[in-house]
Structure 1
């Protein structure tokens, strides 16, 4: 019987845990079996380049087959290739990855036919099947192997128009290394590649492209007089950009560069995104369509149409109207076209306003009540949004308070045009939260 510890791996947006402790081949096979029971059909199954991904990928595919579904095994690919298979080839998809997490982690991301992510209630339904005593193998499906990378590369090339740029690309030793440097060279760019050897230990700078790990990239951009630099996470769906002056851009700053180069329109953004985005989009006669935090909400909103760009504060983007494909490689090509049109990226990078983040420990049984009590206190005093937690708009500042879905925490994010204001607001709202916790305890 699968260990009860496995219950914790089923999250809101994906399945993930530590390999060998929470996530084993036995667990992966049962996930595949449950998935096949939940939705029988044809599945593209792929993986990132982590050491444990090969074994988990084989076990997952075996489970899907045992549930009566068919499997197209695409092997190790960037996650964009799996999204492509789901959106353009008509497969449902399962991809073994832990994205930006450390090497000991792994997980599974799931997609329906057409590329819409399986999340929330869908993952919980798979979890219920996973623990069901009635879950047993049935007449197996068939397995074929397919090399999807050449077709995916052709798709990417069909979108790209820019050529002749100097680009520094930091693959982070992850799945993007399988295609990104060669793709850019094939398009006629002069490419300088960092951490471009696939290595499941992520020895170069780790799997997460956070600013303090991107100094080498920033220095190389300046040294090479490059037009820009780009860094990927472990599976290639997140991107971080560096301008020609070596400045590491926030997601919102990168989005503005793309809008300046490719043209403004309505933008989909999550509630954590900087107010600089809304200021500049509104100044050009368009609007920001706000969504909750989580790439799925951005992807689904932009699929409704009418927006030119989707941006998540974590570095996910949807470009060229490719609904359901928040693909880092597509984003890189879109940014390159914007850079080619602009000449110098640095000339259009907007200011970065100070943002302060705090975490307050709150018991799981209280955290959502605390946020709701805070909402009651604030309504009538401020302009309050409850799209995702509680967001309070003020003059030249805002505060967002959200209960964590996975930890006994309430998160506070504050942005203001002056750091001292952001710090003061963070202190004030942390104090309010602690007062409410004390009152409810």
Structure 2
């Protein structure tokens, strides 16, 4: 009995991640758990909340429970229903609400989660989420005088905000909504701006029957073919909640995040850029050549958002497909990114003519026990320092001539990720294998000492 209870507590504790709350619906994350999270949230940050959700099957019961918990804690709720996550970011940034959004983003259908935002739009992460976890398990968490509930259709106001940021019209654009929440806004928004729009997977469907919720290159063949067939200026694909975007150029080529960032820089003008340590060296080569610098940050949208707000860089890019443009520092909103890409495309004409090369990237995963993985990374740092230019913002990154190697411990799994980029495929594969073997060797040596 005690062992089962301990296992349950361990499972519940594990849903509080570094950047959000996430778990398998019905197992780790249930309506009862969501209600208590809402109660803890109301204790952590009192006041008015905007609460929305994506279109997953499990989102409505979790959303309802989360709202009830926030109300029970004495805070008031403005329920905005099913919306792209950008609408909730907008509510936090421009309307003075704290915000919560039920989503598992691009993860498989059995997963769900909660993303949290403070007033002003800054995401709740790290120590803040761990403080929320402590409140969740606290014996002193009790219902208080309930707050008030209002329902609000925020989409018209959010769409007006997006239109105010748009500077392009008259393009031919193919939009793959992925059956996610972006379908509620993106196609109509572009048409209202005067673009010729063709759509794929534009019906909101919680099963994501079209190509799944994650816009990976292998799932975007239909989009690429449609861009070429329609002679479109570009194509754009969204994930389940609309914060990630993947672009296809006019030649039908699926662009990496760094390639898309270069298109936006070429169209809107260069300046300093914020990028995470996994981003391609092609970005730094081009930014440096224009007399500017790349400001490197750890992996995670929060670091990008905060650094662009601090530094005034013109663009932030995450290798996963999150972008932030200066002036909208707390909004890595995929629909907003789409509008800036359209602006660049309108100025450039043929996007494909400015797309830089894509260098080969090879990834390896090495299983390492949780109690050893950070020690292994530290040992690798000691080995690499003095031999190469080393970046220790997030794990250890060794920059070599025409290549780099990044060794990072996973925050959620007992493993270390080894990522290598080089200008030649063979070099990338050789480095990935070499450093994965070194990580394995160090882990075995430390294990024998323990």
Given the two structures, how large is their TM-score scaled by the length of structure 1?
0.99
Give the equivalent residue in structure 2 for 1:223.
229
Deviations 1:337-395 (A, max 9, x none): 00000000000000000010110000000000000011111111111111110000110
The answer as to whether partners of 2:308 and 2:326 remain within 8 angstroms in 1 is no
Question: Which secondary structure state, in structure 1, belongs to the residue aligned with residue 241 of structure 2?
Answer: coil
Question: Which secondary structure state, in structure 1, belongs to the residue aligned with residue 261 of structure 2?
Answer: helix
1:69 and 2:75 equivalent?
A: yes
Q: Structure 1 residue aligned with 2:90, among 84, 92, 97?
A: 84
Question: Cα distance, 1:320 vs. partner?
Answer: 4.4
The answer as to whether partners of 1:81 and 1:148 remain within 8 angstroms in 2 is yes
1:349 and 2:355 equivalent?
A: yes
Question: Cα distance, 1:135 vs. partner?
Answer: 0.9
Give the equivalent residue in structure 2 for 1:247.
253
Give the equivalent residue in structure 2 for 1:138.
144
Question: Which secondary structure state, in structure 2, belongs to the residue aligned with residue 192 of structure 1?
Answer: strand
Give the equivalent residue in structure 2 for 1:9.
15
Give the equivalent residue in structure 2 for 1:94.
100
Distance 2:311 2:81 in 1: 32
1:273 and 2:279 equivalent?
A: yes
Q: Structure 1 residue aligned with 2:425, among 405, 419, 428?
A: 419
Give the equivalent residue in structure 2 for 1:200.
206
Question: Which secondary structure state, in structure 1, belongs to the residue aligned with residue 364 of structure 2?
Answer: strand
Give the equivalent residue in structure 1 for 2:170.
164
Distance 2:388 2:197 in 1: 50
Give the equivalent residue in structure 1 for 2:179.
173
Distance 1:355 1:76 in 2: 36
Structural mapping, 1:112-131, within 5 Å: 112-131=118-137
Given the two structures, how large is their TM-score scaled by the length of structure 2?
0.97
Runs of 4+ in structure 1 off by over 6 angstroms are none
1:311 and 2:317 equivalent?
A: yes
Question: Which secondary structure state, in structure 1, belongs to the residue aligned with residue 419 of structure 2?
Answer: strand
1:57 and 2:51 equivalent?
A: no
Deviations 1:1-21 (A, max 9, x none): 995232221101000111111
RMSD between aligned residues: 1.0
Deviations 1:242-300 (A, max 9, x none): 00000000000000000000100000000000000000000000000000001110011
Count of residue pairs the alignment pairs up: 441
1:39 and 2:45 equivalent?
A: yes
Question: Cα distance, 1:321 vs. partner?
Answer: 2.0
Give the equivalent residue in structure 2 for 1:107.
113
The answer as to whether partners of 2:260 and 2:355 remain within 8 angstroms in 1 is yes
The answer as to whether partners of 1:320 and 1:334 remain within 8 angstroms in 2 is no
The answer as to whether partners of 2:312 and 2:326 remain within 8 angstroms in 1 is no
